[in-house]
Structure 1
């Protein structure tokens, strides 16, 4: 049995996917770019600022599912349109996850929706 997760704390679209889906104690968070849920527009700033917004969006979905935000995330996939941004994304990412970061994959992609430069999806364990 699965349950979709819905929150105003992360961007919503009219595309055919859930913000997150809970299956038992596992939460699968859809991919999020640096879109401010209040404006539905990508945030300004550098890639570090945009990474912060992406992580805020992921955390909001985890919290809406009853979790403790990024503390419950066990796996992240990072999508970058330019691997030259890798170090700056790592700085922002490390600042949010601290000493015990989740498992992670990072890949360069040719393009992301809304022509943003960073997107992440995640898996969380809600114990």
Structure 2
């Protein structure tokens, strides 16, 4: 088991890592719309979703993987009324390759953000 950490994504804000490599699989922690410097990105769910994907790409790259190798995502959304808007941006990142996905509305997310996404991916 190997811890994945990159300065190109926000540092963990608690007792966890950005991700873990086990054999040829990468498991990310949920990414929220913080910049690599830890600044919360203001804006609607689409703006926040773009930042989440920027963070996911950074940790995937550090792990030796990519969005094209993601097998499963879990999306946590503050308001299911934002689903279509979030899904539009999500589709920009997963247009050809479409991993399995779960999406759930939650009562609250860290720092009161609108969206959090975690991934499981293959590592080559």
> TM bucket by the smaller chain?
over 0.9
Q: Which has the higher strand share?
A: 1
- The answer to whether the 8 A contact 2:41-2:51 is kept is yes
* Number of aligned residue pairs: 124
Give the Å deviation of 1:14. 4.6
Regions of 4+ moved over 6 Å: none
Counterpart position of 2:4: 5
Counterpart position of 2:44: 46
Tell me how far apart the structure 2 counterparts of residues 14 and 34 of structure 1 sit (CA, whole Å): 13
1:12-23 → structure 2 map (5 Å cutoff): 12-23=11-22
- Asked whether 1:106 is paired with 2:97, we answer no
TM-score normalized by structure 1? 0.93
57-66 or 40-49, which moves further after superposition?
A: 40-49
Tell me how far apart the structure 2 counterparts of residues 15 and 106 of structure 1 sit (CA, whole Å): 23
Please provide the CA RMSD for this pair.
1.0
- The answer to whether the 8 A contact 1:10-1:60 is kept is yes
Q: Over residues 71-109 of structure 1, what are the superposed CA-to-partner deviations in whole Å (9 max), with x where a residue is unaligned?
A: 121110000110000000100000111122111000000
TM-score normalized by structure 2? 0.95
Counterpart position of 1:36: 35
Q: Which runs of 5+ in 2 are unaligned?
A: none
- Asked whether 1:117 is paired with 2:117, we answer no
Counterpart position of 2:85: 88
